[in-house]
């Protein structure tokens, strides 16, 4: 389940802000992660292969798709998650902003007679503001939420990224899944990690990710990715 892309990969996932460029751009990315986590929860049961395509225009509009291999009990019959998203981002003075929507799609959900109600297929709207090293954002589900509930779920989060050198940064994250349905406990996830720009489109990351769920031990997640223009 990550509007995925990075605080680590989508293990620690946030939305990207596109502030615009001289021309519209099409880019791609591929990567591997030692374990795919979404809001602190395991999605792959081990290593996962991931990748995506992004379009960004000089107006600030962007759209893209992102996919990952998965393997978790709630996605019976599904070997992949595919996300589709679109939004508008930019800057107003020193404040960056990003507004959009994302659809998480499990295409093989009904294979083998598995058809969970509520569905894993999920739609969220999101928004964020960034200033300096901080990004404060919110996701809100519009319907079914990953086979957990068909009532609203909010996910406010705070990301902090501090440059340690020209190539290395310290990344901090905390977020909370807040359920409107009675009887479902909220879940807080948090992480601390470092990310490195290895040059020529290559990047690496390492993070410790945990939740406030009892007996949920912190997980070490290692990632590598390659981004390229099309």
- Print pLDDT tens along the chain (230 aa): 333 443 333 333 333 333 333 456 999 999 999 999 999 999 998 999 999 999 999 999 999 999 999 987 555 555 789 999 999 999 999 999 999 999 999 877 655 455 678 888 999 999 999 999 999 999 999 889 998 999 999 999 999 999 999 999 999 999 999 999 999 999 999 999 999 999 999 999 999 999 999 999 999 999 999 999 99
The structural domains of the chain, ordered by start, are 25-229 (2.40.160.40)
pTM for this predicted structure: 0.87
Q: What is the DSSP string of the chain?
A: ----S-SSSSTT--PPP----SS-EEEEEEEEESS-EETTEESSSS-EEEEEEEEE-TTSEEEEEEEEE---GGGTT--EEEEEEEEEEEEETTEEEEEEEEEEE-TTTTGGG---SS-S-EEEEEEEEEETTEEEEEEEESS-BTTTBSS-EEEEEEEEEEESSSSEEEEEEEEEEEESSTT---EEEEEEEEEEEEETTEEEEEEEEEESSTT---EEEEEEEEEEE-
């Amino acid at each position: 389940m990550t509007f995925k892309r990075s605080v680590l990969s989508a293990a620690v996932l946030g939305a990207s802000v596109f502030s615009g460029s001289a021309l519209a751009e099409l880019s791609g990315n591929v990567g591997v992660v030692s374990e795919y986590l979404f809001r602190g929860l395991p999605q792959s049961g081990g290593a996962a292969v991931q990748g995506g395509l992004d379009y960004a225009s000089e107006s600030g509009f962007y759209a893209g798709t992102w996919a990952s291999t998965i393997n978790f009990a709630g996605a019976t019959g599904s070997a992949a998650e595919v996300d589709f998203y679109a939004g508008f981002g930019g800057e107003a003075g020193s404040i960056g902003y990003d507004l959009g929507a994302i659809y998480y799609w499990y295409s093989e959900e009904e294979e083998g007679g598995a058809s969970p109600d509520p569905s894993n297929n999920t739609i969220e709207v999101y928004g964020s503001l960034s200033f300096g090293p901080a990004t404060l954002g919110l996701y809100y589900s519009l319907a079914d939420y990953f086979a957990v509930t068909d009532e609203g779920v909010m996910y406010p989060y705070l990301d902090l990224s501090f440059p340690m050198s020209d190539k290395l940064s310290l990344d901090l994250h905390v977020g909370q899944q807040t359920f409107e349905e009675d009887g479902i406990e909220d879940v807080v996830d948090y992480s601390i990690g470092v990310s490195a720009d290895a040059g020529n489109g290559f990047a690496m990351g390492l993070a410790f990710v945990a939740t406030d769920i009892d007996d949920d031990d912190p997980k070490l997640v290692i990632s590598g990715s390659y981004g390229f223009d099309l």
